[in-house]
Every structure is written in C-alpha cells, then in structure tokens.
A and B are shown apart, each in its own frame.
Chain A
Amino acid sequence: MHFLTQELIQLDAKVNNAKEAIEQAGKLLLDQQLINESYIQAMIDSYEQNGPYFVLAPHIALPHARPEDGAKQAAVSMLQLKKPVPFGHPNNDPVSLVFALAAGSNNEHILVLKKLSTLLGNEEIRYKFMTAKNYEDLQSVIEGD
C-alpha cells in the first residue's frame, strides 16, 4: 500500500483547470510506477463522462478509475493547489485538494479508503492538508495511526 508518502504529495501546485489537476495528481502515481499511463486518461474520461461527482466534500476531489484501467497497486497521491480550480460541482467547488486514488482490485484498497476517510472526516486535518507548506507539516498526521 502506498498512502500519501512524501513522493506522492505535491504542495502548492499550479494548474489551470480540473483536467490538469487530475493529470498532475495522476502523474505522482505514475512516477512511482503505481499505475500505467492509461489510468490517467481513464480518470479524465470518467470525469468527462460522469461529471464531477467525485468532488465528494467541499474543496476535495478524489479522481479515480477502475482497477482494470491500469492500477497496479492500491495507492493515494495528493495535490494541493496553489489556486483552487472549479470542477463544475454545484456545491463543493472550487477544488483545492486532489487525491488521486489507484484502486487495486483486492481488499487493500478498502484499507486505503478507510485511512483516507478517517483523515478527511476530521475538519482540523482537512485544514492542515489545505494549508501545509511542507511534507513535515503533514507527516505526523499521515503516519498518525
């Protein structure tokens, strides 16, 4: 399981739109060889076909595709945006945090989602993710349990 390790977090990222945000968050997974390149395109295709339903909390997007679209392992990356961008969600726009999820087909990805859900269910931690200036600001929170 690869969950928000230092290499999988990019802070203060500059993107112009939702598509670029998904691409960059996906690239963090690609660089660690946790997905195939096809997975990034699948996340974008899903956004274009199904809309921004994956903006599942105010300012937080969780793009993902299907395991068979090229996910190699269960993993989560995070992109903190310098300037929030709209994804087209009626209530939760604009997005300032993008967590790209590589959903493996096994139970490991349930574990990853549980961890993420526990973290993001906490308002104080959400705020920390949005305001962190360096990895050290987040390390204790992520490694907390």
Chain B
Amino acid sequence: MKILAVCGLGQGTSLILRMNIEEVLNEAGVDAEVEHVDVSAASGVEADYILTSNELAQSLQGHQAKILVVNNYFDIEEIKRVLSQNRVI
C-alpha cells in the first residue's frame, strides 16, 4: 500500500503530515509506504491513498488514488479517524 501526503510545496507541511501518518500506521501495525510530495508532483505519482487539505483535494481530483481530507495536520486522533473510516487501518 502506498500513501501520499500532499501540500503546496512538498517541504514543510506535507512532511509533518507524513510523520503523523507514519506514527498512526506504526501504532496500528499497518505496513505502508508513505511519501510526501507537492501538489503538482502528486499527479505523476501512483498511490492508493492521498491525504491532504480540503483545498488541495480539489486540485487533485482525477488522481487514481482515493483522496482523504485532513483538517488538522497535528491531530493524531483525526488522522486515525480518517484512516480507519476508510479502512486503511
């Protein structure tokens, strides 16, 4: 399974999201590859899931991955909820 954390520049914000996704996956014992990229590069990367903000989700429409929206990138509980609702964990 491959998950992308996407932000506008692919530097700071998506890296924070990626670290927190990895924490949730580790805790749940789920093995997945997590990458962080910027929104323009994301379209060229294959993935099963994309986690991003509401705003950027719209510009990612059409990507073959399932797009999941996270509102608070620091909120481990929210990330956990989003991943479990979508049966990632």
Contact = CB atoms under 8 A, between A and B. Distances in A.
A114 interface: yes
B13 A110 contact: no
Contacts of B11: 64-67, 103
Given A120-B74, A121-B75, A46 B9 contact: yes
Looking at B56, B71, B74, the one whose CB has the most chain A CB atoms below 10 A away is: B74
Interface stretch (B14-22, B27-35, B42-50): B14-22
A90 B19 contact: no
Nearest to B20: A117
A53 B15 contact: no
A57 B8 contact: no
A92 interface: yes
A56 B53 contact: yes
Given A91-B54, A117-B74, A121-B74, A54 B12 contact: yes
Contacts of B8: 46, 49-51, 53-54
A57 B72 contact: yes
Contacts, number: 76
A51 to B, nearest CB: 5
Given A56-B13, A117-B74, 8 more contacts: A56-B73, A57-B73, A62-B13, A64-B11, A66-B9, A89-B55, A103-B11, A110-B15
Interface in B35-80: 39, 52-56, 71-76
A109 B74 CA distance: 17
B25 interface: no
A43 B7 CA distance: 14
Contacts of B72: 56-58, 92
Contact of B71 (A64, A66, A92): A92
